[in-house]
Structure 1
């Protein structure tokens, strides 16, 4: 949390760089906002600052209907931090509390529920229940304002245990009933019917080199699971996803619009919406802080011209960490064969998308997969290895290195992409410590500069990139 005087200066200047890094509330109105809110700047004595939307809600403030503070990018801090708070925030974002409760979150973190509650409250001003509640409220608002789903279905799809809990939360957070919130939605386009998918805006802060991410995804695309279509600058990335409650097909457009990417998500089960959104955000690295990254790397003479040429370059993650780990071992061609042989077919193929990538258990029992893949799949299937959003990255790396067929360079790739670590350097890479904590971004700059893809044409499919 930044100091309050700096925070107030950010509010006075409506500085969007701080959106999602903190929130401010106004005591005289009972409303909390993002720093870039266009409303009249309140007097300093009436302003209070909070590290999370949940903390502001817990203090009794409701969300501003003008700036929609619940829709801002998440704080980049949680991706950088490897401690229990950072891990817990990533897991709550992935929907663990909704699916497994606080006890499940604590068990995955290796702490007691009381310890998790205490540390989160001290650091971010709210415990896991309040943080998950804020996230559920945001999911519900999106569904109310962008779909024609019945309100009762939305309540359970957003993760609420009852319609009464849903109604009470919406009133507390938005000072409106669900019906009123739906009626207040902008009418730029009609709400989507459930069958057509949920239209979303994936917000990001600062500049975003989405084209470089699309170049990489096009080069790595596995047939049947992914595709990139359209002309350069207007491409669409589509893929299938295996989620906790079912399957999904997601699509993201390359062209950005004033701080967001357009996306569509067609879910087999609406309860998977929060998880699907978080998977896309990690894949496209949308919670990054490009200002901090570019400021640090831009000081280096080797990187300065690259940062100037591509401000806001992202370090892509993974939509499915387990899938990426397998693909890091075998490359696109063998991954395609595994999809055909062991992937689960979609109930209804959608264009070239026909399958969901095989589950680890299916590969662990297969007889014709490479031994290294079999060992990896077995470790994932029996829980020896975890690659979820809140896993301890050092523990996961140690487990990976102990598997047969794993080398340090492949493990570094898995750590950077599947685990979203922003500070990974492959062994023997020429990476100085002055690039910390953004070494993954530094390597992405070097890799992108050394192999620019021809405009409008994907590079030849090959194994996932492992650095420079």
Structure 2
């Protein structure tokens, strides 16, 4: 059986596990869909398969209005891959092409624009401009259908260079004008206004799609145990909690709110309050990484659930996620600050750091009062009066200085192996801390934190050696979480 035959079987069975992994386009209708589209399955001879929505759009197909293929979770493959294509896909998702152009993308990757273009076309069927265009189109559709912003405001907020380009793109992707898309929104009686945290207004409501199962309770527990005062807060009771946090974004501060919603199938409710609407894509991607929404729990379970050592915890907690970082620089500083401290002690140290050096918001929101300290501020800070040892203060200043001067890059397209080598060369950063930064800040799904006391204890109890743990790759980060869960 060929790969395309397997894909056609997935389409025939409406298998949602493959949503975002590939897309199919129908030559007789001129539309493309996600594999789980509820429409009647087309004949095999009329179908073409594509790795990305952008590739289908570049081939002249428009998005299905019924299954909205542009709104599916991203492919977990791009997070797992450490090559230039995986790094480029993560950077494009973070909005780098919109902010810095293809030249900026290539510079971050250390390749020429021609090399980046060629590799992306060969691997995913679309170049960086087409991939960014598809993302802009999705952002614009969300704003059209959830806000009262004027079309011209939405055009520039989504990253388009002109209103004409915006109109042409929306017609090409959705076969509808912006006005028609707005009139077709669901819940027409619900309209949302401006989105600035400085005005205290409503914000942009989103549904952040993910693959099921999703162990929401565990990731909310993780965030609640580590929430820093002024930066993060959890409201509501278990099962109906809302995680709220401040964000440092290119256009100014933002606030994100994510609801637990255990009954929601395939999505988490989110509301973003932004100073600059152009930060919508960046903010969305950061929250997706924090909640690990592009993970493939079926692939993880297939590898780890058949391992005798992990079969029981995988069965007991299907869909366990690895919490990422809403701000990788913050995650790196917190990893160094926490060191070998307990979770509670690391949280107290973080609270003290935020109180001393966090940037106050012009307008507070509930318990959210500050942004996490900027790396440049910490690099020059004395850090006295925080109860930290001299060695820990030196380590904090060293990593903050490396981030501030650009020596250490923690953006989504960072070279993970190279970054780990740079981290280990810094004073006070050992393998455990470097591994935590690689797992959380860089979103690497293949990090086994064998230096962690809880993980080491679980491996001893289960009789697993470090060499035997190689069978968990490329999902060692998820194995780490299941080992902690099993303790």
Q: TM-score range by the shorter chain?
A: over 0.9
Pick from 405, 417, 431: which aligns with 2:440? 417
Aligned equivalents of 2:475, 2:110: Cα separation in 1: 27
Pick from 186, 189, 203: which aligns with 2:209? 203
Matched residue, 1:456 = none
Matched, 1:191 2:191: yes
Matched residue, 1:437 = 474
Residues 201-229 of structure 1: CA distance to partner in whole angstroms, max 9, x if unpaired?
Answer: 01001200011000000011000000111
Q: CA RMSD in A?
A: 1.1
Matched, 1:225 2:217: no
Matched residue, 1:213 = 219
Aligned equivalents of 1:449, 1:232: Cα separation in 2: 21
Shift of residue 191, structure 1, vs aligned partner: 2.1
Residues 408, 427 of structure 1: 8 Å contact kept: no
Structure 1 gap ranges (5+): 451-468
Shift of residue 448, structure 1, vs aligned partner: 2.1
Matched residue, 1:162 = 162
Aligned equivalents of 2:347, 2:63: Cα separation in 1: 45
Matched, 1:406 2:413: no
Pick from 251, 274, 282: which aligns with 1:245? 251
Residues 109-167 of structure 1: CA distance to partner in whole angstroms, max 9, x if unpaired?
Answer: 00000000000000000000000000000000000001111111110110111111111
Q: Which runs of 4+ in 1 moved over 2 A?
A: 426-431
Matched residue, 1:33 = 33
Matched residue, 2:407 = 384
Aligned equivalents of 1:142, 1:316: Cα separation in 2: 25
Matched residue, 1:56 = 56
1:78-117 correspondence to structure 2 within 5 Å: 78-117=78-117
Pick from 291, 294, 307: which aligns with 1:300? 307
Matched residue, 1:291 = 298
TM-score by length of 2: 0.91
Aligned equivalents of 2:37, 2:15: Cα separation in 1: 9
In 2 relative to 1, CA 189–234 (structure 1 residues): closer, same or farther, beyond 3 Å? farther
Aligned equivalents of 2:82, 2:204: Cα separation in 1: 33
Shift of residue 427, structure 1, vs aligned partner: 4.3
TM-score by length of 1: 0.95
Matched residue, 2:317 = 310
Matched, 1:449 2:475: no
In 2 relative to 1, CA 189–236 (structure 1 residues): closer, same or farther, beyond 3 Å? farther
Q: SS of 1:241's equivalent?
A: strand
Matched, 1:128 2:165: no
Matched residue, 1:359 = 374
Q: SS of 2:29's equivalent?
A: coil
Q: SS of 2:212's equivalent?
A: coil
Aligned equivalents of 2:377, 2:170: Cα separation in 1: 41
Aligned equivalents of 1:161, 1:342: Cα separation in 2: 38
Aligned equivalents of 2:80, 2:181: Cα separation in 1: 35
Residues 212, 448 of structure 1: 8 Å contact kept: no
Pick from 330, 335, 352: which aligns with 1:337? 352
Residues 78, 90 of structure 1: 8 Å contact kept: yes
Aligned equivalents of 2:450, 2:71: Cα separation in 1: 38
Shift of residue 180, structure 1, vs aligned partner: 0.6
Q: SS of 2:261's equivalent?
A: strand
Q: Is the deviation greater in 203-212 or in 189-198?
A: 189-198
Aligned equivalents of 2:347, 2:162: Cα separation in 1: 44
Matched, 1:137 2:137: yes
Shift of residue 189, structure 1, vs aligned partner: 5.3
Matched residue, 1:179 = 179
Aligned equivalents of 2:383, 2:61: Cα separation in 1: 58
Q: SS of 2:143's equivalent?
A: helix
Residues 429-450 of structure 1: CA distance to partner in whole angstroms, max 9, x if unpaired?
Answer: 4441111111110110111232
Aligned equivalents of 1:80, 1:188: Cα separation in 2: 39
